[in-house]
Amino acid sequence: MAFRVIRALRPTAASLRYLRPYNSHNHLSSASSPASSNELDETQVKETTITEGRYKELSSRILGASYGFCRSIDDPYFGISTSTFPQRILSVLLHPVNEQDVEIKPDGLIYLPEIKYRRILNQAFGPGGWALMPRGNEGEGAQLITREYSLYCHGRFISQATGEHTFYSKSNLSYGKACESAKSNALTRCCKDLGIASELWDPQFVSKWKKQYSEEAWCENVRNKEKKRLWRKASSGETFPYPWKEMGPVKSSNSS
């Protein structure tokens, strides 16, 4: 199968709309072929028929040309640290986190739900403007699934991180759900390099948020009678998960 392409002097990502499949039973003569297969025509816009391999090469080059350089399809770090994103995108990525969106785990670790990261990326780059690419296969350890992922935005490499999630074969959590959770974990780690919800790693913000939005309670493990201090979001009405039973609030050190 051959492809028809319009080749322009200064292609951009929008130029990809001119790349379209084209069925032809006739071969063009050598005179109608481009003078050089490694250069885009700088003098005129011309139309010709190319192979599928050349189509993939040109589509990759056109995307790269919009950022001022030529991309190799096999380069996993294409576009790394070349330039900052436009101000409109930066304002979305660096916007202060909505404190109401932050959640807290029973161990006191605060976090932003994974879906919030996806919504921020969609708002900044648009659906289809970013992607999380897996690197290698899943790794399985003792009750742990891991996999490495790379984050790309507008065709540029942004960050790489390993996602992980515990997996018990006898639990209700399926293998597929565990893999998806590991992917979400990698996404949140990759987004740190874009500055998304960076406050969650700021000790002063964490301490202030806990005082304002969370509460701590003494709980007892109903199976072994172990006592432990657990956290939850204030006024959430949530109960602590089994086997923990709430015994009472933790008294503040400042209380009389």
State yes or no: pLDDT of 246 exceeds 80.
Answer: yes
Provide the pLDDT for residue 237.
76
Domain limits of the chain?
A: 2-65, 87-92+112-197, 206-249
> Which CATH number does 87-92+112-197 carry?
3.30.390.80
Tell me the mean pLDDT in the region 166-192. 83
pLDDT at position 50: 52
Rounded to whole angstroms, how far apart are CA atoms 42 and 49?
18
Cα R_g (the chain), whole angstroms: 26
Percent of the chain residues past pLDDT 90, beyond the cut: 41
For the ranges 8-22, 62-76, 239-253, the maximum mean pLDDT occurs at: 239-253
**φ, ψ at 138 (rounded to 5°):** -65, 145
Is residue 201 very low, low, confident or very high in pLDDT (cuts 50, 70, 90)?
A: very high
User: For position 204, what pLDDT does the model report?
Assistant: 96
The pLDDT score that the predictor gives to residue 49 is 52
Taking only the tens place, the pLDDT of each residue in 17-64 is 444 443 434 433 334 444 444 444 444 334 445 565 654 555 555 455
Least confident of 13-17, 137-141, 233-237: 13-17
Q: Which amino acid is at 85?
A: F
How far is the C-alpha of 147 from the C-alpha of 169, rounded, in Å? 18
Instruction: Give ∠ CA 17-21-23 in degrees, rounded to 5.
Output: 150
Q: Which of 20, 26, 19, 13 is nearest to 62 (CA)?
A: 13
Average pLDDT for residues 192-203, to the nearest whole number? 95
Among the listed ranges 69-83, 88-102, 181-195, 216-230, which one has the minimum average pLDDT value? Answer: 69-83
Residue 244, pLDDT above cutoff 50: yes
Give yes or no for a contact between 80 and 156, defined as CB atoms under 8 angstroms apart.
Answer: yes
- Burial profile 77-111: b = 16 or more Cβ within 10 angstroms, e = fewer: ebbeeeeebeeebeebbeeebeeeebebebeeebe
Contact status, residue 185 vs residue 164, Cβ threshold 8 Å: yes
The predicted-structure confidence for 88-124, as pLDDT tens digits, reads as follows 999 999 999 999 999 999 999 999 999 999 999 999 9
The percent of residues above 70 in pLDDT, for the chain, comes to 66
Q: Rounded to an integer, what distance in angstroms lies between the CA atom of residue 110 and that of residue 201?
A: 9
Per-residue model confidence (pLDDT) at position 163: 92
